[in-house]
Amino acid sequence: MMQAKKKDFTQMENPADILQDEISTEPDRPEVMTTGKRNVVRHKAPEQKRSERMGLLVTPATARDIKLIASLKETSVNAIANKLLENYIKSYSKKNPDTLESARKLFK
Protein backbone atom coordinates (compact mmCIF):
# COMPACT_ATOMS: atom_id res chain seq x y z
CA MET A 1 0.00 0.00 0.00
CA MET A 2 1.45 3.37 -1.07
CA GLN A 3 1.27 6.37 1.18
CA ALA A 4 0.20 9.71 -0.24
CA LYS A 5 2.98 12.23 -0.66
CA LYS A 6 2.89 14.91 2.04
CA LYS A 7 2.04 18.36 0.68
CA ASP A 8 4.52 21.17 1.24
CA PHE A 9 2.96 24.53 2.09
CA THR A 10 6.17 26.23 3.20
CA GLN A 11 6.50 28.21 -0.04
CA MET A 12 2.98 29.67 0.14
CA GLU A 13 2.36 33.13 1.49
CA ASN A 14 -0.23 33.41 4.24
CA PRO A 15 -3.39 35.10 2.84
CA ALA A 16 -3.95 36.87 6.16
CA ASP A 17 -0.52 38.50 5.87
CA ILE A 18 -1.32 39.69 2.34
CA LEU A 19 -4.62 41.20 3.49
CA GLN A 20 -2.98 42.87 6.48
CA ASP A 21 -0.35 44.41 4.19
CA GLU A 22 -3.07 45.77 1.89
CA ILE A 23 -4.98 47.24 4.80
CA SER A 24 -1.95 48.89 6.38
CA THR A 25 -0.65 50.35 3.10
CA GLU A 26 -3.91 51.94 1.94
CA PRO A 27 -4.01 55.56 3.09
CA ASP A 28 -7.30 56.98 4.27
CA ARG A 29 -7.60 59.81 1.75
CA PRO A 30 -10.60 61.59 0.33
CA GLU A 31 -11.46 60.98 -3.30
CA VAL A 32 -10.27 63.85 -5.53
CA MET A 33 -11.94 64.53 -8.86
CA THR A 34 -10.47 66.94 -11.39
CA THR A 35 -13.18 68.94 -13.12
CA GLY A 36 -11.92 71.66 -15.42
CA LYS A 37 -10.09 74.38 -13.50
CA ARG A 38 -10.48 73.09 -9.97
CA ASN A 39 -10.32 69.89 -8.00
CA VAL A 40 -13.40 68.66 -6.20
CA VAL A 41 -12.79 66.70 -3.01
CA ARG A 42 -15.46 64.20 -2.04
CA HIS A 43 -15.24 62.66 1.37
CA LYS A 44 -16.68 59.19 1.58
CA ALA A 45 -19.46 58.73 4.09
CA PRO A 46 -18.13 57.03 7.20
CA GLU A 47 -18.97 53.36 7.31
CA GLN A 48 -21.05 52.31 10.22
CA LYS A 49 -19.09 49.97 12.44
CA ARG A 50 -21.97 48.50 14.40
CA SER A 51 -25.06 46.66 13.39
CA GLU A 52 -28.36 46.85 15.15
CA ARG A 53 -30.88 44.06 15.35
CA MET A 54 -34.38 44.65 14.09
CA GLY A 55 -37.16 42.11 14.24
CA LEU A 56 -39.60 42.02 11.35
CA LEU A 57 -42.78 39.99 11.09
CA VAL A 58 -43.58 38.85 7.58
CA THR A 59 -45.99 36.35 6.12
CA PRO A 60 -44.70 32.83 5.52
CA ALA A 61 -44.97 33.32 1.75
CA THR A 62 -42.93 36.54 1.92
CA ALA A 63 -40.29 34.86 4.07
CA ARG A 64 -40.06 31.89 1.70
CA ASP A 65 -39.86 34.06 -1.42
CA ILE A 66 -37.27 36.51 -0.05
CA LYS A 67 -35.08 33.57 0.99
CA LEU A 68 -35.37 32.13 -2.52
CA ILE A 69 -34.54 35.49 -4.10
CA ALA A 70 -31.53 35.92 -1.80
CA SER A 71 -30.33 32.46 -2.73
CA LEU A 72 -30.76 33.14 -6.45
CA LYS A 73 -28.90 36.46 -6.15
CA GLU A 74 -26.22 34.83 -3.97
CA THR A 75 -26.72 37.36 -1.21
CA SER A 76 -28.38 37.42 2.19
CA VAL A 77 -31.89 38.34 3.20
CA ASN A 78 -30.27 40.89 5.50
CA ALA A 79 -28.42 42.56 2.60
CA ILE A 80 -31.65 42.80 0.61
CA ALA A 81 -33.54 44.22 3.60
CA ASN A 82 -30.79 46.80 4.26
CA LYS A 83 -30.80 47.95 0.63
CA LEU A 84 -34.61 48.21 0.56
CA LEU A 85 -34.68 50.21 3.79
CA GLU A 86 -31.85 52.51 2.65
CA ASN A 87 -33.70 53.19 -0.62
CA TYR A 88 -36.92 53.89 1.28
CA ILE A 89 -35.13 56.37 3.56
CA LYS A 90 -33.56 58.15 0.56
CA SER A 91 -36.94 58.35 -1.15
CA TYR A 92 -38.61 59.67 2.00
CA SER A 93 -35.86 62.25 2.49
CA LYS A 94 -36.30 63.53 -1.06
CA LYS A 95 -40.06 63.89 -0.65
CA ASN A 96 -39.80 65.35 2.87
CA PRO A 97 -36.39 67.07 2.97
CA ASP A 98 -36.67 68.75 6.37
CA THR A 99 -38.79 66.24 8.26
CA LEU A 100 -36.21 63.52 8.83
CA GLU A 101 -33.45 65.97 9.75
CA SER A 102 -35.75 67.74 12.21
CA ALA A 103 -36.71 64.41 13.78
CA ARG A 104 -33.03 63.44 14.12
CA LYS A 105 -32.30 66.68 15.97
CA LEU A 106 -35.38 66.30 18.14
CA PHE A 107 -34.68 62.69 19.15
CA LYS A 108 -30.89 62.90 19.67
By the 8 A CB rule, do 22 and 16 touch?
A: no
What are the domain boundaries of the chain?
82-108
Give per-residue pLDDT as tens, 24-33.
554 555 555 5
Task: Give the closest residue to 81 by CA, choosing from 69, 94, 98.
Answer: 69
pLDDT band per the 50, 70, 90 thresholds, residue 4: confident
Residue 35: the pLDDT is 58
pTM (two decimals)? 0.51
| 13-27, 70-84, 93-107, range with the lowest pLDDT | 13-27
Using CA atoms, how far apart are residues 97 and 101, in angstroms rounded to an integer? 7
